[in-house]
């Protein structure tokens, strides 16, 4: 897990988990993996929607104790 | 003597310095404590005023006061920005070559607009994040005679309400000029709704639909084709424009990057204690943090109040006494004469109310009251 960059967006209303991920993606290299932590249940839908629309890759999406862990890979 | 060094003289650094000067007034007088502010400028700018400069409602001269005049007596102030952070030696070195030792260091150097990071954006879009840009935007708005106004927003950006405020204020501006029927607005936003805050997005959508403002979400600007007057998005979208307005992407300051303190110029920071990760005697305020929270003066203000209480307690008691709860309060201009606000923290989302003229007037009053706020009097 050490090579996965964690984006801890728990309790973030503004700018929110997806905006945090977009910002982190801009700093990442192609092939990098990032894991977003979110307490917003909407993240389970809107982050995969954006990832798929841009063409990046969803590696895993799971929920534990009210926290969503969304693991993605930058592909372009 | 305990030495507190504050790097940055913006909203956060100034409020913190004044807060500490009051809480530690006896210790400052006796020489037990020294509070030093190191800034890049002898002027302090009220950055939210730039929005009004773009509409001819404030002059750029109104945005500035002398930084020294805003600081409590007893605070040491130097216009000598830090060049090197030697955190292991508890020392910073300034551009003039002066070294400052510290017991506690606070880094609040802020952020900067970086439209140059998107091909074509700096050349072809107008924004309101510098005096020069705001005045150029005023000229562009005055000369516009009709067509499509596209609004594109970069990530991350300072002051999350600006995309909506610009759109609403342009709507009323062109209405007053009598050319609204010749103007089409096309608003874009990086995520899947019209604003980060869900409740603000719902309110904005109702307003946009009522005013006939078109929009596209999940739109992250990739490049601007000035020749064909088109904006291309990372998601594959294309938007035509006649006048392009942007809320540009931002970065932290170069000195943060040059000292490898954080990617993008954002320093990894504990969201509750505001301590820099791995450095318990180094704190970070405002835009400079990587905390997932609004980059706004309001954030820096509330953080500075919490940190002032904690630094004073560290000096007097050797321990911190509170945490920052994520408090933010943002006005939202909803046109030329109506406004609402969003107030929230880490646990409580905002519940924006319908815009009123009274809140707009309060915002205009705050544009003047800021100078008391930054002195720590409000």
Q: What is the DSSP string of B80-108?
A: --EEEEEGGGTEEEETTS-EEE-SEEEE-
Residues from chain B that touch A26, judged by Cβ atoms under 8 A, are 155, 249, 264
Whether the predicted interface score ipTM is above 0.85? yes
Q: How far is the C-alpha of B186 from the C-alpha of B337, rounded, in Å?
A: 22
Average pLDDT over residues A56-74: 96
With cut-offs at 50, 70 and 90, classify the pLDDT of residue A3: confident
Which among B119, B191, B251 is the top mutation candidate for probing chain A, defined by the most A β-carbons within 10 Å of its own β-carbon?
Answer: B191
In a domain, A67, yes or no: yes
A41 within domain boundaries: no
How many percent of chain B have pLDDT more than 70? 100
Sort B108 into a burial class: Cβ within 10 Å, 0-12 / 13-18 / 19+.
buried
User: Is residue A9 assigned to a domain?
Assistant: yes
Model pLDDT, residue A19: 96
Structural domains of chain B, with CATH? 2-110+253-327 (3.50.50.60), 113-247 (3.50.50.60)
Determine the residue among B195, B198, B292 to mutate to test chain A binding: the one whose Cβ has the most chain A Cβ atoms within 10 Å.
Answer: B292
Q: What does the DSSP assignment read for B2-25?
A: EEEEEE--SHHHHHHHHHHHHHTH
| Contact of B12 with B302, CB cutoff 8 Å | no
Q: Which residues of B touch A (CB under 8 A)?
A: 155-156, 160, 190-192, 196-198, 218, 220, 234-236, 249, 263-264, 271, 292-294, 326, 328, 342, 344, 346-347, 349-350
The band of A1, judged by pLDDT with boundaries at 50, 70 and 90, is very low
Which contiguous run of DSSP H or E holds residue B64?
strand B64-66
Q: Is A72 part of a structural domain of the chain?
A: yes
Indicate the average pLDDT of chain B.
97
- Identity of the residue in B191, B342, B350 whose CB atom sits nearest the CB atom of A46: B191
CB-based contacts of B197, cutoff 8 Å, min separation 6:
A13, A14, A16, B160, B342, B344, B349, B350, B352
Nearest to A13 by CA among A48, A44, A42: A42
Q: Residue A65 domain-assigned? A: yes
Residue A40: inside a domain: no
Q: How confident is the model at residue B244 (pLDDT cuts 50, 70, 90)?
A: very high
Asked whether the beta carbons of residue B191 and residue A49 sit closer than 8 angstroms, the reply is no
In this model, does residue B64 exceed pLDDT 50?
A: yes
Mean pLDDT of B87-91: 98
Is A38 within the bounds of a domain? Answer: no
Q: Are B160 and B196 in contact (CB under 8 A)?
A: yes
Residue A34's Cα: distance from chain center in Å? 6
Q: Is A61 a catalytic residue?
A: no
CA distance B153 to chain A (A): 11
User: Is residue A25 in some structural domain?
Assistant: yes
If we measure between CA atoms, which residue out of A28, A26, A23 comes closest to residue A5? A28
Q: Kindly name the residue from A1, A2, A14, A31 that is annotated as catalytic.
A: A14
Residue A19: which domain range?
Answer: 1-31+49-76
Report the number of distinct structural domains present in chain A: 1
């Amino acid at each position: 897990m050490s090579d996965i960059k964690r984006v801890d967006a728990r309790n973030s209303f503004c700018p929110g988990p997806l905006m945090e991920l977009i910002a982190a993606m801009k700093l990442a290299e192609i092939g990098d993996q990032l894991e977003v932590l979110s307490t917003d249940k909407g993240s389970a839908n809107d982050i995969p929607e954006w990832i798929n629309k841009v063409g990046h890759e969803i590696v895993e999406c799971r929920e534990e104790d009210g926290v969503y862990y969304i693991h993605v890979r930058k592909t372009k | 003597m305990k030495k507190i060094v504050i790097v940055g003289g913006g909203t956060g650094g100034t409020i913190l310095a004044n807060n500490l000067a009051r809480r530690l007034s006896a210790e400052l007088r006796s020489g037990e404590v020294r509070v030093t502010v190191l800034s890049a400028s002898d002027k302090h700018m009220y950055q939210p005023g730039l929005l009004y400069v773009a509409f001819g409602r404030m002059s750029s001269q109104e945005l500035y006061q002398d930084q020294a005049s805003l600081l409590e007596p007893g605070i040491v102030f130097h216009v000598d920005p830090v060049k090197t952070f030697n955190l292991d030696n508890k020392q910073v070195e300034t551009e003039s070559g002066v070294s400052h030792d510290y017991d506690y260091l606070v880094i609040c150097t802020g952020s900067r607009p970086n439209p140059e990071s998107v091909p074509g954006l700096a050349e072809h879009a107008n924004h309101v994040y510098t005096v020069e840009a705001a005045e150029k935007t005023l000229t562009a708005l005055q000369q516009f005679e009709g067509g499509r106004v596209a609004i594109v927003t970069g990530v991350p950006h300072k002051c999350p309400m600006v995309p909506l405020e610009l759109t609403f204020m342009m709507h009323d501006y062109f209405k007053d000029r009598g050319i609204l029927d010749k103007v089409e607005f096309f608003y874009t936003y990086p995520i899947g709704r019209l604003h980060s805050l869900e409740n603000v997005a719902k309110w904005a959508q109702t307003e946009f639909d009522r005013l006939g403002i078109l929009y596209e979400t999940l739109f992250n600007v990739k490049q601007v084709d000035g020749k064909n007057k088109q904006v291309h998005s990372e998601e594959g979208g294309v938007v035509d424009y006649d006048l392009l307005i942007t809320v540009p992407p931002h970065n932290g300051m170069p000195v943060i990057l040059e000292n490898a303190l954080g990617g993008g110029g954002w320093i990894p920071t504990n969201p509750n204690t505001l301590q820099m990760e791995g450095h318990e005697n180094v704190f970070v305020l405002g835009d400079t943090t990587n905390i997932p929270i609004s980059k706004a003066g309001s954030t820096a203000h509330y953080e500075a109040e919490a940190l002032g209480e904690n630094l004073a307690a560290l000096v007097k008691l050797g321990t911190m006494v509170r945490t920052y709860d994520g408090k933010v309060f943002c006005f939202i201009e909803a046109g030329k004469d109506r406004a609402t606000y969003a107030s929230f923290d880490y646990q409580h989302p905002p519940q924006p109310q319908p815009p009123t003229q009274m809140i707009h007037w309060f915002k205009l009053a705050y544009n003047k009251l800021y100078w008391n706020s930054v002195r720590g009097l409000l």
